[in-house]
């Protein structure tokens, strides 16, 4: 199916044309028929000679209903511009064409109607010239009479050529169905309609509904009046929603594939058309079927920041139209460049932002987004419209490669600095590093660790060699003068003199510099093993006193040292308070 919107000045014959082509009545309301004027959108469809189905969204031409016209045109990729032969180009011809141009509609057809009333030649010539200057470019023109039926066969053939040239929609794209109508069907509940421009809908689908913070389920689907289990873009669709009030699903809201769009009320845009400086401070932004008021903050010559009164599900690359609400004037089209723009509080930030925006094309692109955002969740990028997968650095975080390499170096520097400032801690806490690096997630800190850095028990250190020199030196000095007495412990006052308190001693133990015997009694590393060899040479069993003399040490050392050897199974305590060495030398564990 293809969907086309009509466009053109009031009373130029749009609805008559749609009626003649489809045999259906696009003016749905009694008031419209009574007044002979379209007020709101109308819908009708027919089969073309090729067999292709074409559905029309018929719009009102009267200037009072331009907002309705825009809601119909917004989601539709192609337009039929209607001009009356007897009236020629008029005000809303201009306004509607400006709207199509602002929305960058590229495909269309010119139909000069009421050609039974006047020579269509001048109207065709003028309209073609006007249209050629817009995004529609050169279009085919057909002269018809909706009353006599003249030209309708040529028009059907031209419509076939038009739809054959429309770009194929992506059936796997995320769904964003802009609601253009909602009503209640007795027994079924709320039904909303819209033009499905991309993706696919199925009965049973869960969708997000903007304006609510919950998901809704598709209870039934219809297209062109027929119930269908599933429907692919492009299509006119009617969606029956379970448990949704009609008032909560009105025009301008949208049904969305969950997790694929973010609602944003702050966007940076490129402005096409009038100069940014000439824009009013407040405009109405039209996109899809939505119309919201927006405050304009000019940034560069053709870029601006828009603060939307109501958040919309916008993505990078989306087109929207700005209208001056006071002057009934299409002020221009915009291309969305950023849906999560940075704050502009810092001095000079606006100028820097303008420079950045000047280089943006408005096409979602992974490398560029990473370069600007440095670190971003894949889910967030997807919501902005960036589909490229990318290789996460941790969890679903994606990083700009240069930034990531810089973070690696910064982490190494921070770990070294922490080791300098806290020489007795076994590495820097991950959380502290996360903070210093300004990272949003601990997993990122852990992912940055690579040799020689090691992560252990929530801390990151520069590996086993990471013993502070000061500590090694202080421990060395503690044993000064004890070189020929390997089983002598430094005196407590000496340790204090050297600044070796409980924490420092614990660090020295962890670093394997000394062996703890309880309290502040320490021996050099390896001392227990050497003691076992000396004791093995004593007559067995031996007393604490004999051991003390053999080891040339004090009771302060000998008692806990023997207890340590008992506990590791090197010596055994006998009933008469003596000991024997039971383990052979190579069985002796190194405490
Ligand atoms: N003679 C003649 N009259 C036509 C033709 N097309 C439309 N009309 C008449 O022109 C008037 C307006 O036609 P509509 O089809 O309602 O025009 P419209 O463009 O839909 O108008 P709006 O929806 O209000 O913008 C009606 O009285 C039609 O009967 C035509 O080809 N020939
Ligand atoms: Mg009409």
Q: Is the preceding omega at residue 339 within 30 degrees of 0, hence cis? A: no
Ligand 1 pocket by C-beta < 6 Å: which residues?
A: 8, 10-16, 36-38, 60-62, 113-114, 116-117, 145-147
Atom of ligand 1 nearest to the CA of 117: 1
Average pLDDT for residues 559-567, to the nearest whole number? 93
Atom of ligand 1 nearest to the CA of 38: 23
Atom of ligand 1 nearest to the CA of 37: 24
pLDDT score, position 237: 98
Among 9, 11, 62, 113, the mutation site with the greatest number of ligand 1 atoms within 8 A of its Cβ is 11
Model confidence at 590: pLDDT above 70:
no
Model confidence at 586: pLDDT above 70:
no
pLDDT score, position 464: 55
Average pLDDT for residues 175-179, to the nearest whole number? 98
Ligand positioned closest to the Cα atom of 13: 1
Average pLDDT for residues 543-565, to the nearest whole number? 95
Model confidence at 143: pLDDT above 50:
yes
Task: Evaluate whether 10 touches 63 at the Cβ level (below 8 Å).
Answer: yes
Q: Can you tell me the distance from the alpha carbon of 107 to that of 100, in angstroms, rounded to the nearest whole number?
A: 10
51-96: pLDDT as tens digits: 999 999 999 999 999 999 999 998 898 999 999 999 999 999 999 9
pLDDT score, position 215: 92
Atom of ligand 1 nearest to the CA of 61: 25
* Residue whose CA lies nearest to ligand 1 atom number 32: 114
289-308 burial code (b ≥16 CB/10 A, e <16): bbbbebebbbbbebbbbbeb
Average pLDDT for residues 396-410, to the nearest whole number? 95
Q: Can you tell me the distance from the alpha carbon of 382 to that of 406, in angstroms, rounded to the nearest whole number?
A: 25
pLDDT score, position 466: 60
Compute, in angstroms, the gap from residue 64 CA to the centroid of ligand 1: 18
Among 6, 13, 93, the mutation site with the greatest number of ligand 1 atoms within 8 A of its Cβ is 13
Q: Can you tell me the distance from the alpha carbon of 384 to that of 170, in angstroms, rounded to the nearest whole number?
A: 17
Q: Model confidence at 450, in pLDDT bands (50, 70, 90)?
A: confident
Among 16, 33, 73, the mutation site with the greatest number of ligand 1 atoms within 8 A of its Cβ is 16
pTM of the model as a whole: 0.79
The full DSSP string for 199-264 is SEEETT-EEEETTSSSEEEEEEEEETTEE-SEEESSEEEEEEETT--GGGS-TT-EEE-TTS--EE
- Which residue blocks in 103-237 are alpha helix, DSSP H? 121-132, 152-164
pLDDT score, position 419: 82
Average pLDDT for residues 294-310, to the nearest whole number? 96
Model confidence at 130: pLDDT above 80:
yes
* Residue whose CA lies nearest to ligand 1 atom number 12: 11
Helix (H, G, I), strand (E, B) or coil at 266: strand
Among 22, 28, 146, 154, the mutation site with the greatest number of ligand 1 atoms within 8 A of its Cβ is 146
Model confidence at 188: pLDDT above 60:
yes
Compute, in angstroms, the gap from residue 418 CA to the centroid of ligand 2: 75
Model confidence at 585: pLDDT above 60:
no
336-372: pLDDT as tens digits: 999 999 999 999 999 999 999 999 999 999 999 999 9
Model confidence at 374: pLDDT above 50:
yes
Average pLDDT along the chain = 92
Average pLDDT for residues 374-401, to the nearest whole number? 92
Q: Can you tell me the distance from the alpha carbon of 100 to that of 81, in angstroms, rounded to the nearest whole number?
A: 10
* Residue whose CA lies nearest to ligand 1 atom number 9: 13
Nearest to 174 by CA among 254, 107, 116: 254
Task: Evaluate whether 134 touches 97 at the Cβ level (below 8 Å).
Answer: yes
* Strand partners of residue 240: 191, 220
Atom of ligand 1 nearest to the CA of 36: 16
* Residue whose CA lies nearest to ligand 1 atom number 4: 114
Task: Evaluate whether 127 touches 100 at the Cβ level (below 8 Å).
Answer: no
């Amino acid at each position: 199916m293809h969907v086309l919107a009509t466009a053109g000045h009031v009373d130029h014959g749009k609805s008559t044309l749609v009626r003649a082509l489809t045999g259906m009545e696009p003016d749905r309301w009694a008031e419209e028929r009574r007044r002979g004027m379209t007020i709101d959108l109308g819908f009708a469809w027919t089969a073309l000679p090729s067999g292709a189905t074409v559905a029309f969204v018929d719009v009102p031409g009267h200037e009072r209903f331009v907002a309705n016209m825009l809601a119909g045109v917004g989601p539709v990729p192609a337009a039929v511009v209607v001009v009356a032969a007897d009236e020629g180009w008029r005000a809303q011809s201009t306004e509607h064409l400006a709207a199509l141009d602002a929305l960058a509609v590229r495909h269309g057809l010119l139909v000069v109607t009421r050609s039974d009333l006047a020579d269509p030649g001048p109207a065709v010539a003028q309209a073609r010239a006007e249209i050629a200057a817009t995004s529609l470019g050169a279009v085919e023109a057909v002269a018809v009479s909706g009353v006599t039926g003249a030209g309708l066969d040529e028009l059907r053939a031209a419509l076939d050529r038009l739809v054959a040239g429309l770009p194929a929609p992506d059936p796997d794209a995320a769904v964003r169905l802009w609601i253009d109508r909602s009503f209640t069907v007795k027994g079924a509940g709320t039904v909303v309609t819209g033009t499905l421009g991309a993706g696919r809908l199925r009965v049973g689908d869960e969708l997000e509904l903007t304006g609510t913070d919950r998901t809704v389920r598709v209870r039934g689907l219809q297209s062109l009046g027929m119930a269908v289990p599933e429907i692919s873009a492009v299509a006119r669709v009617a969606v029956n929603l379970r448990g949704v009030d009609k008032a909560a699903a009105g025009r301008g809201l949208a049904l969305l594939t969950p997790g694929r769009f973010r609602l944003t009320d702050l966007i940076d845009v490129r402005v096409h058309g009038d100069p940014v400086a000439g824009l009013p401070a407040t405009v109405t932004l039209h996109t899809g079927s939505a119309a919201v008021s927006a405050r304009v903050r000019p940034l560069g010559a053709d870029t601006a920041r828009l603060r939307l009164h109501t958040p919309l599900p916008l993505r990078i690359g989306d087109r929207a139209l700005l209208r001056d609400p006071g002057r009934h004037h299409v002020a221009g089209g915009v291309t969305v460049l950023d849906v999560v723009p940075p704050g502009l509080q810092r001095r000079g930030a606006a100028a820097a932002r303008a420079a950045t925006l000047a280089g943006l094309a408005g096409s979602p692109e992974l490398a560029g987004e990473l370069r600007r955002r440095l670190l971003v969740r894949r889910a967030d990028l997807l919501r902005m419209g960036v589909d490229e997968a990318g290789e996460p650095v941790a969890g679903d975080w994606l990083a700009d490669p240069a930034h990531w390499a810089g973070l690696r170096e910064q982490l190494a520097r921070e770990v070294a600095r922490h080791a300098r400032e806290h020489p007795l801690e076994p590495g820097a806490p991950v959380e502290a590093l996360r903070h210093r690096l300004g990272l949003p997630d601990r997993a990122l800190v852990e992912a940055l660790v690579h040799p020689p850095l090691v992560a252990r028990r929530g801390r990151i250190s520069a590996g086993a060699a990471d013993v502070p020199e000061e500590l090694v030196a202080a421990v060395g000095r503690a044993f000064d003068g004890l070189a020929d007495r390997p089983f002598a412990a430094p005196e407590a006052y000496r340790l204090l003199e050297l600044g070796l308190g409980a924490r420092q001693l614990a660090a020295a133990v962890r670093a394997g510099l000394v062996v703890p015997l309880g309290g502040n009694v320490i021996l050099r590393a390896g001392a227990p093993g050497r003691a076992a060899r000396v004791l093995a040479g004593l007559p067995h069993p031996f007393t604490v006193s004999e051991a003390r003399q053999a080891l040339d040490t004090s009771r302060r050392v000998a008692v806990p040292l023997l207890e340590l050897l008992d506990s590791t199974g090197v010596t055994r305590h006998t009933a008469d308070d003596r000991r024997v060495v039971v383990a052979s030398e190579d069985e002796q564990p190194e405490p």
